[in-house]
Structure formats: C-alpha cells, structure tokens
C-alpha cells in the first residue's frame, strides 16, 4: 500500500509542479550501519545493505514542499538471533514538510509529518515435554506490526557554497509519535502419541506505544547542468516505548549515501 501510494503521488506532484516554480526529483542509495535493540532479547547488529530513498521537492519563492519515502524493504535479518528474540524487520518510511527559507536564503525551517511502518518477526521457540510415555512438542513464534505517526520539525542550513559545489546540514525531529502495536503469536503443538490431533492457537493483542525520532543529514553536492550529484552521511535515532515505560525497540543507524537529482 505504501509503494502504491508513494509512486503515483510523486508522479502527480511532478506533473503539476512543473507548470510553475522549480521541481526537483531524485534518489539516494544509503548503506545501513547500526543496531536494533529491544527490552527482551538485547541488541542485534544490522547487516550492511543498499537502501533507496526517493524524494521530490517543489519551490515557490521562499516556500518549498518536500516529500521523501523509503519503500518497504525486508525483512532485514539480524545477526545470530536467540530463540524468541527479533530475527528480522520489514520497514518503510515516509516524511514530508513545508519549508520556509529565511531572509538570508542560506537557512530554512520546516514542519510536516513522519510515518514509519514496521513489521518485526521473531525466532521460533521450540519446547518438548513428556506426557506419560509420549512427548508433546510446542513451537511458538510471533509478529509485531505498527504504523508510527508524528509531527516533524526541521531546520537546515547551507554551510558552504563554492562555485557549483555546496555543503548542507539539516536536523529533523519527531519528538512525539504514536502507534498501536499489533502483536500476533502462534503456538503449534504436535506429539508422537497415536491419535494426537495437531493444533495451532493464534493470539492477537494490541498495545499503545509512543516514540521519538532524530534525523540528521550532512551532504556535499556538485551541480552539473540540470543534475546534482551528492554524497554524505545521515543518522537516524529512533526510540519507542510502551505506555508502562518499558522499551519497545531502539534503532541507531548511520547511513552513508550517494545521490542524484534533476530539475524537471
């Protein structure tokens, strides 16, 4: 659903915005370096994989409308998951903001929204116990899914301009994000007892959670005609907790990136 909405939205915006002002579309390819942790199961190292983030921006005077999205990727597996702990996550992200350039034109502020879709799978737990002269086997696993939404506040600045080259820095924060975490678990039983009927029980619960996100971005870019080539670093620090204060999950990710964009 995320991808189905994002692509038409970008195409529709691009078609409309090219009639006035200045519209830029582009993509960055980001490497993932970081960790994922939960209150139960400890911390796991994320694998290094290429992650595409698509973006579009339209400028009218001092105002600009910015939208970027990470289509759902994954599940991204974790290193050596223990039984019952997170073993992989599928994640998608969409954020956008209305930005305003300050009088100097070298700094801007913005306000918008951040949406994070996340589905985490858990490594199965296997258990066996005697039942008379027979053995009963149990397999339990689970999936957590959430859509976390919150207001986004941004500030950015052009630190250096030299000919066709420039250095930019921005920091965004979504300090109060909210979600309902849907938890689905299954327990399957089997036995070597003659006539035993295998059974599967499904458990479904929802839990409220709150989260915060810090998104920092530093990039060096070079303009060549209508195209801009860029490289830099992006840092994401995401923390979520349940209403009772316990940690839901924590992600700290450093994203070195290269990018390309073009004016329409």
Model pLDDT for residues 8-21, shown as the tens digit of each residue:
555 555 555 445 68
CB 143 within 8 A of CB 124: no
Per DSSP, the residues of 78-123 read: -SSPPTTSEEEEEEEEEEEEEEEE-TTSSEEEEEEEEEEEEEEEE-
Residues of the chain below pLDDT 50:
1-7, 17-18
What DSSP letter does each residue of 19-86 carry, written as one string?
TSSEEEEEEEEEE-EEEEEETTTEEEEPP--EEEEEEEEEEETTEEEEEEEEEEEEEEE-SSPPTTSE
pLDDT tens string 177-208: 999 999 899 999 999 888 888 999 998 999 99
**Which pLDDT tens digit goes with each residue over 243-264?**
888 888 888 999 999 999 999 9
**What's residue 12's pLDDT?**
54
* Predicted pLDDT of residue 18: 47
What is the C-alpha separation between 147 and 189, in angstroms, rounded? 32
What's residue 66's pLDDT?
Answer: 97
Closest CA to 148 of 173, 174, 129, 171: 174
- What is the pLDDT at residue 2? 45
- pLDDT at residue number 17: 46
33-38 and 247-263 as β-strands: parallel, antiparallel, unpaired? Answer: antiparallel
Q: Give the other-Cβ count within 10 Å of 161's Cβ.
A: 11
């Amino acid at each position: 659903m995320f991808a189905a909405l994002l692509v038409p939205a970008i195409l529709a915006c691009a078609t409309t915005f090219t009639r006035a002002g200045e519209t830029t579309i582009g993509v960055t390819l980001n490497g993932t370096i970081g960790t994922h942790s939960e209150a139960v199961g400890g911390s796991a190292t994320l694998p290094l994989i290429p992650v595409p983030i698509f973006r579009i921006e339209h400028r009218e005077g001092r105002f600009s409308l910015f939208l970027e999205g990470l289509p759902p990727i994954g599940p991204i597996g974790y290193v050596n998951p223990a039984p019952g702990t997170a073993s992989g996550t599928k994640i998608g992200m969409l954020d956008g903001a209305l930005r305003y350039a300050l009088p100097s034109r070298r700094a801007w502020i913005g306000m918008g929204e951040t949406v994070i879709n996340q589905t985490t799978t858990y490594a199965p737990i296997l258990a066996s116990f005697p039942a008379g002269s027979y053995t009963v086997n149990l397999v339990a696993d689970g999936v957590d899914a959430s859509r976390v939404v919150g207001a986004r506040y941004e500030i950015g600045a052009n630190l250096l301009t030299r000919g066709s080259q420039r250095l930019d820095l921005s920091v965004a924060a979504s300090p109060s994000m909210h979600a309902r975490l849907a938890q689905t678990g299954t327990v399957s039983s089997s036995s070597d007892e003659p006539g035993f009927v295998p059974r599967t029980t499904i458990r479904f619960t929802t839990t409220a959670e709150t989260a915060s996100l810090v998104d920092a971005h530093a990039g060096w870019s070079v303009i060549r005609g209508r195209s801009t080539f860029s490289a830099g670093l992006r840092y994401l620090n995401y923390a979520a907790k349940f209403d009772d204060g316990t940690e839901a999950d924590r992600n700290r990710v450093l994203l070195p990136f290269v990018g390309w964009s073009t004016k329409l």
